[in-house]
Amino acid sequence: MIEERTDERNLAENLGVARVVLRGIRANELEAGTDWERGHGGRIEYTAGGIERVREILANSAPENPPQEGLEGGEGYPDPNSSPKTPPAPEDRAPAAIREIETGKKNAPTEAKVTRLPMNSRILFARIEGDEADILVRVRDNALFVRGMVIPVLQPPAGGAWQLGRKHPRWKGRW
């Protein structure tokens, strides 16, 4: 006799609950092998007895605490139908804002002095005058750069590695 089974996604849709709620019930209340099994491809399939137990548990579990904002049924799970909160606005980068006021250009090149040439030929380290830390600058090939060379660099709009502010040098150590 073949027993009819229902997968977790369809059961969640039919009962009107989120899958995370079913997952919590399965982990805490149901027994593997009798109430549910892993089907083809790792899909969770509930037996007829498992479906009845889930319905009983949902009927008997009234929320003890009133639901919090953004949570369904006081279970502590986020509501999948609610829209995600918008992330806060990115902070203004003071150096770029100052440079924009001084030069009148949004992303004007800044002068930096090459301090290190690592084994990775696609990057180099430079230091902007007045700063204590080195910055990472992406280049096509660092073979034509030498320590002490002054280069123009552009600050990235969203953080990360800086970029070279002009074409690469034609000769080693000179523009």
Please write the tens of the pLDDT for every residue from 58-77: 888 755 554 555 444 445 55
Kindly state whether residue 170 falls inside one of the protein's structural domains.
Answer: no
| Residues 54, 125 within the same domain | no
**Predicted pLDDT of residue 80:** 52
| Residues 80, 101 within the same domain | no
The CATH number of the domain holding residue 135 is 2.40.50
Kindly state whether residue 112 falls inside one of the protein's structural domains.
Answer: yes
Q: Mean pLDDT in each 10-residue stretch from start to end of the chain (175 residues)?
A: 76 87 88 87 88 89 55 50 53 49 66 95 94 92 95 87 92 87
**Predicted pLDDT of residue 101:** 45
**Predicted pLDDT of residue 120:** 95
Long-range interactions of 44-52: CB distance < 8 A, separation 24+: 44/7, 44/8, 45/5, 45/6, 45/7, 45/8, 46/5, 46/6, 46/7, 46/8, 46/11, 47/3, 47/5, 48/3, 48/4, 51/6, 51/11
CB 115 within 8 A of CB 127: yes
| Residues 61, 106 within the same domain | no
| Residues 73, 103 within the same domain | no
| Residues 153, 124 within the same domain | yes
**Predicted pLDDT of residue 108:** 84
**Predicted pLDDT of residue 93:** 46
| Residues 24, 64 within the same domain | yes
DSSP states of 115-139: EE--SSTTEEEEEETT-SS-EEEE-
Is pTM beyond 0.75? Reply is: no
Domain boundary among 85, 108, 130: 85
Domain boundary among 38, 55, 85: 85
Kindly state whether residue 172 falls inside one of the protein's structural domains.
Answer: no
Give me the number of domains the chain comprises.
2
Domain boundary among 61, 85, 109: 85
135-138 and 162-164 beta bridge pairing: parallel
Secondary structure class of 26 (helix, strand, coil): helix
| Residues 66, 114 within the same domain | no
Closest alpha carbon to 25 in 57, 71, 68, 66: 57
| Residues 49, 98 within the same domain | no
Rounded distance between C-alpha atoms, residue 123 and residue 74, angstroms? 51
Kindly state whether residue 117 falls inside one of the protein's structural domains.
Answer: yes
